[in-house]
Amino acid sequence: MDSSLLILVAVLGIFALLFLVMKSKLQAFIALILVSLLMGLLVGMSPEEIIETFDKGMGETVAFISIVIGLGAMFGEILRVSGGAERLALTLLDKFGEKRAPWALGLAGLIISIPIFLDVALVILMPILYALAKKSKKSLLLYGIPLLSGLLVAHAMIPPTPGPLGAASILNAELGWVILFSLLVGIPIMIIGGPLFGSFIANKIFIPVPISDEETKAVLSEEAKLKQQQKELPGFWSVLLIILLPLVLILLNTLAPLVLEEGSFVRDAFVFIGHPYVALTITTLLTAYIFGAKRGFTKDDIQEITTKALEPAGIIILITGAGGIFGEMLVASGIGDVLVDIMKEVNLPLIIFAYLTAVLLRLAIGSVTVAMITTSSIVAPLASALEYSGPALGILVITIASGAVIASHVNDSGFWMVNRYFGMSVQDTLKSWTAMSTIISVVGFILCLILSFIFI
């Protein structure tokens, strides 16, 4: 097929995807499947070729992420039920002190959202935010924006959260590089978008605690009870170390081949235990024992907790698999090669194309995870053709994550969750939460650009 017609099919496919998700409210998994089918038919692929492309795209993507997302979900749910999130937040607040509470909350959000989904973590920690704002008589945004910044950065950038995990799988990026660059980029943007911006916006917009006096007393009572029960919560260091364990092991898997001689026992051992399958299996089993069995949970309790954790993981795995099909269809149809030729002609760096694509999809679709997976599907054949590997792919994943968090607005469920829990008007939510997500996105992209000059 002519190159111009292939590009037309690609453009129509993306517009069809946006229409189905935004206007028809079709589930993203079905929308990706349907658009992939139509694209295959429009470019003249035979039914057999389309089915083979589906098998390859879904199989190669889901084979990896289903195990990692499943293990990560179980590990995070056990930690949540045991009170690990509360322990981290309360201990950091104690250590940092009241004056530096925003910094403590930003760091707590960054750590907690690695194993626990953003919306769940926010619900758990809202009583602590209410109590801090009520006692200090300051704007709720002073404490809320830093926490939200940490939660959003970890949710979008640090595996084993679904977005970066799915993007890494589709792009065939090593998780070790993704983790390394997510920390190099994520910590500075959490600080800028969190404590620094939070202090600024809290002086501009005063948001009181959006609950009645009776409810406030209940919150303060709950916080006091939590502090009294701190001895019963899991230990701070045990929570911190179990969250960091899989990250460290996966980093060992990536870095060991670079610093140790081939064939050495230590190198082979690090590569094995640092593989995401093994690292997360070890972490999940340790979490079940330390935060489950040792804290009085029965075998049936642990089984029920881990089984329940897999329910939200299922749809994420399917959407990511469908994204893999979409990307494979771009390769099999020849559209990917045409896009590479166009990028070379206009001299547009892939990192800029990836960021802009993620931005457009985020603004249109709303979901960070869906925007990342769809962008990765579009970018994957280009990255392969340009021979991106190692650190370059890790930076590309974080670039896509940066684009996918920009300007959370009314089509994003996170926007309405923040709006409701903070009791803000739509205008104030745009000035605070939406502005914060935009700052994180732009600064993240700038840092990725700087890293690209070094590693790409």
**130-156 pLDDT tens trace:** 889 888 889 999 999 999 999 999 999
pLDDT at res. 318: 87
Percent of the chain with pLDDT over 90: 50
- CA gap 208, 394 in Å, rounded: 41
Kindly state the helix (H) or strand (E) to which residue 82 belongs, with its residue range. Answer: helix 47-82
| pLDDT for position 219 | 59
Compute the distance between CA of residue 57 and CA of residue 322 in angstroms, rounded to an integer: 8
Mean pLDDT of the chain: 89
pLDDT tens per residue across span 433-444:
999 999 999 999
Query: What is the structure's pLDDT at 449?
Result: 96
Which regions of the chain are under pLDDT 70?
Answer: 1, 211-231
- Structural domains of the chain, count: 1
Residues 77 and 308: beta-carbon distance below 8 Å: yes
Question: By residue range, what is the domain housing residue 39?
Answer: 3-455
CA distances from 393 to 44, 248, 331, 335, 383 (A): 31, 19, 18, 21, 8
The reported pLDDT for the residue numbered 223 is: 58
Single-letter residue type at 297: F
What is the distance between the alpha carbons of residues 127 and 321, in angstroms, rounded to a whole number?
37
pTM for the whole structure: 0.88
